[in-house]
């Protein structure tokens, strides 16, 4: 009996080492309990092996989701559940949910454009769509357009712009928030145009913008560049127009009418803890 226990301990130690070499951490952790259950319930060997494999796959999916969520840099609290679709009749919730599957457009390099005035919920919706896509297995990066453009300018000065743009290819969807906040500077807009051109029909881009296309001349100083950028973005694109009053303005009016201490109501955000300042605006 003692010899059998020793043999079992040696076998367990060897198995742990082999599972380490094979990089199967979930199986290494779970197999003793599952083996005990399999012995107790007289599982066939195939069921035992399949259960171990299922645990390993589930753990890998969990680790991949955690890693992709961390790299996506999405805004906290911005989810589809906390977005008030009733406040924006021009946007169908069913359509947005279909978009969040991703397989009908991302694998084709199509784009998504959210156009509307400040405070209408564009950033919230963009981040929420990004979160849903990550949960469905796509790789996403959320960035303020001005911040990303500045990083690309640094890469250009270091003669590494092409490499920097190529690194963004690992993301199936690049979310560029607040396009209008890019300054009308030739250096900035040229790297932005190169990014748009590089991803055209290859990788998808989601853009939020406060101005309609006709006003994008404020972003791109060259009319020809403006036309070319719009042409590349709208080709194979879904466009959502969010023309509603700012929820911040509505909240201010309701506070004025209801008085201090009353609950606030927002036009596009249900989760009040998730409310954040618009990008590029400092708290006052």
Cβ–Cβ under 8 Å, residues 142 and 130: yes
Buried b (16+ CB within 10 A) or exposed e, 240-267: bebebebbbebbeeeeeeeeeeeeeebb
In a domain, 153, yes or no: yes
Looking at the structure, tell me whether residues 30 and 144 fall in a common domain. Answer: no
Looking at the structure, tell me whether residues 139 and 51 fall in a common domain. Answer: no
pLDDT at 265 over 80: no
CA distance 102 to 82: 20
Look at residues 121, 127, 145, 125 and name the one whose alpha carbon lies nearest to residue 243: 121
Domain end position, chosen among 42, 71, 100: 71
In a domain, 128, yes or no: yes
Q: What is the mean pLDDT of residues 207-231?
A: 83
Looking at the structure, tell me whether residues 121 and 152 fall in a common domain. Answer: yes
Q: What is the pLDDT of residues 71-108, one digit of tens each?
A: 999 999 999 999 999 888 889 999 999 999 999 899 99
Looking at the structure, tell me whether residues 60 and 147 fall in a common domain. Answer: no
CA distance 199 to 251: 39
Q: What is the mean pLDDT of residues 140-157?
A: 94
Q: What is the mean pLDDT of residues 17-45?
A: 84
Q: What is the mean pLDDT of residues 174-188?
A: 79
Among 51-55, 155-159, 166-170, the range scoring the smallest mean pLDDT is 51-55
Looking at the structure, tell me whether residues 19 and 98 fall in a common domain. Answer: no
Which residues make Cβ contacts (< 8 Å) with residue 222, sequence separation at least 6? 186, 189
CA distance 183 to 145: 10
Looking at the structure, tell me whether residues 44 and 106 fall in a common domain. Answer: no
Higher pLDDT, 256 or 243: 243
Q: What is the mean pLDDT of residues 144-155?
A: 93
Looking at the structure, tell me whether residues 19 and 103 fall in a common domain. Answer: no
Looking at the structure, tell me whether residues 108 and 35 fall in a common domain. Answer: no
Higher pLDDT, 279 or 207: 207
For 25, the domain range is 9-71
CA distance 38 to 35: 5
Higher pLDDT, 1 or 222: 222
Q: Given this model, what pLDDT does residue 177 score?
A: 95
Read off the pTM. 0.74
Among 199-208, 220-229, 264-273, the range scoring the smallest mean pLDDT is 264-273
pLDDT at 1 over 50: no
Tell me the pLDDT band of 233, cut-offs 50, 70 and 90: very high
> Across all residues in the chain, what is the average pLDDT?
81
Q: What is the mean pLDDT of residues 4-27?
A: 70
Higher pLDDT, 91 or 257: 91
In a domain, 120, yes or no: yes
Domain end position, chosen among 24, 40, 71: 71
Q: Given this model, what pLDDT does residue 277 score?
A: 36
């Amino acid at each position: 009996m003692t010899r059998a226990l020793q043999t079992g301990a040696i076998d367990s130690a060897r198995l742990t080492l082999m599972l380490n070499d094979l990089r199967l951490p979930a199986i290494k952790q779970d197999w003793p309990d599952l083996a005990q259950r399999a012995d107790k319930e007289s599982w066939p060997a195939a069921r035992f092996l399949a259960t171990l494999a299922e645990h390993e796959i589930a753990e890998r999916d969990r680790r991949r989701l955690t890693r992709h969520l961390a790299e996506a840099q999405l805004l906290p609290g911005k989810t589809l559940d906390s977005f008030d679709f009733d406040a924006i009749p021009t946007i169908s919730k069913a359509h947005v949910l279909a978009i969040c599957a991703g397989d009908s457009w991302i694998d084709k390099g199509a784009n998504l454009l959210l156009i509307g005035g400040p405070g209408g919920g564009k950033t919230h919706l963009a981040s929420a769509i990004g979160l849903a896509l990550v949960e469905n297995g796509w790789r996403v990066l959320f960035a303020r357009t001005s911040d990303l453009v500045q990083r690309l300018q640094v890469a250009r000065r270091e003669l590494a712009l092409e490499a920097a743009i190529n690194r963004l290819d690992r993301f199936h969807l690049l979310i560029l928030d607040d396009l209008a906040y890019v300054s009308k500077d030739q250096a900035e807009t040229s790297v932005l145009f190169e990014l748009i051109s590089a991803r055209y029909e290859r990788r998808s881009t989601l853009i939020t913008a406060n101005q309609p296309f006709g006003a994008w001349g404020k972003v791109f100083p060259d009319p020809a560049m403006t036309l070319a950028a719009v042409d590349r973005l709208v080709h194979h694109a879904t466009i959502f127009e969010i023309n509603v009053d700012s929820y911040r303005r509505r909240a201010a009016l309701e506070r004025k009418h209801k008085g201090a201490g009353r609950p606030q109501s927002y036009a596009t955000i249900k989760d009040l803890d998730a409310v954040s300042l618009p990008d590029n605006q400092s708290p006052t």
